[in-house]
């Protein structure tokens, strides 16, 4: 039981908040989309603190899963790390989106699958927006986990479904019918432009 609490505490470590303070003295919760996500740090603070945030957030999920044995315990620990990241006890239960931490947990459970699931995210980030790739990878991960009979990864995806997608809809107090789909798909209230545009005829 103590280890599960530790999983949440480790997940709660707000690296985006820490690195933003170290590099700029700003509060990441008041910058950009006001979440402790690596993407927010990269876009609004800088690449160096953003990369450091991403690496450390991935390591959180990886380390927490490695502390446990058994598919159910590892999946639950990974989910608790994601919950900690999204609702950090150190930030009055504010946080990020949990994607990097979830990715770290997947790598710990099945490294090969984790690398496969990176492909849609990278391609969509290059062409349009990484949020599309995140959804594709989430669905693809569940399908592959079923085909490979990987109980740990499948349970992790199922456990994390609510905390991950609920966070995409936040802040709930400003959620409306017309922006709900945009938040789920694009993780924001507007539709981003394509990064790759065709040549004019």
Does 93 reside within a domain?
yes
In a domain, 197, yes or no: no
pTM check: above 0.85: yes
User: Residue 167: its pLDDT value, please?
Assistant: 74
**pLDDT (tens digit per residue) in 17-60:** 999 999 999 999 999 878 899 988 998 999 999 999 999 999 99
**Smallest Cα–Cα separation from 189: which of 166, 168, 162, 165?**
168
Q: Provide the residue range defining the domain that includes 113.
A: 2-186
* Residue 88 falls inside a structural domain: yes
- State pLDDT tens for residues 110-131: 999 999 999 998 888 787 667 7
Give residues with Cβ within 8 angstroms of 16, minimum separation 6: 28, 35, 36, 37, 38, 40, 41, 53, 57, 96
The answer to whether residue 58 sits within a structural domain is: yes
pLDDT at 134 over 90: no
**How many independent structural domains does the chain possess?**
1
Whether residue 199 is contained in a domain is answered as no
Task: Give a yes or no: residue 192 inside a domain.
Answer: no
């Amino acid at each position: 039981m103590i280890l599960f609490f530790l999983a949440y505490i480790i997940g709660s470590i707000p690296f985006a908040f820490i690195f933003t303070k170290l590099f700029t003295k700003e509060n990441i919760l008041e910058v950009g989309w006001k979440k402790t996500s690596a993407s927010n740090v990269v876009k609004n603070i800088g690449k160096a603190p953003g990369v450091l945030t991403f690496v450390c957030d991935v390591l959180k999920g990886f380390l927490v899963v490695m502390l446990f044995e058994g598919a159910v315990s590892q999946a639950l620990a990974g989910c608790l790390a994601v919950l900690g990241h999204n609702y950090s006890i150190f930030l009055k239960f504010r946080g990020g989106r949990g994607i990097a931490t979830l990715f770290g947990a997947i790598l710990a459970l099945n490294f090969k699958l984790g690398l496969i699931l990176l492909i849609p995210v990278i391609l969509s980030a290059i062409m349009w927006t990484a949020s599309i790739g995140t959804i594709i990878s989430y669905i693809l991960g569940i399908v592959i986990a079923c085909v490979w009979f990987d109980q740990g990864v499948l349970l992790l995806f199922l456990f994390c479904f609510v905390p991950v997608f609920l966070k995409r809809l936040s802040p709930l107090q400003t959620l409306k019918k017309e922006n709900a789909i945009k938040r789920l798909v694009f993780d924001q209230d507007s539709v981003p432009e394509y990064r790759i545009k065709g040549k004019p005829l």
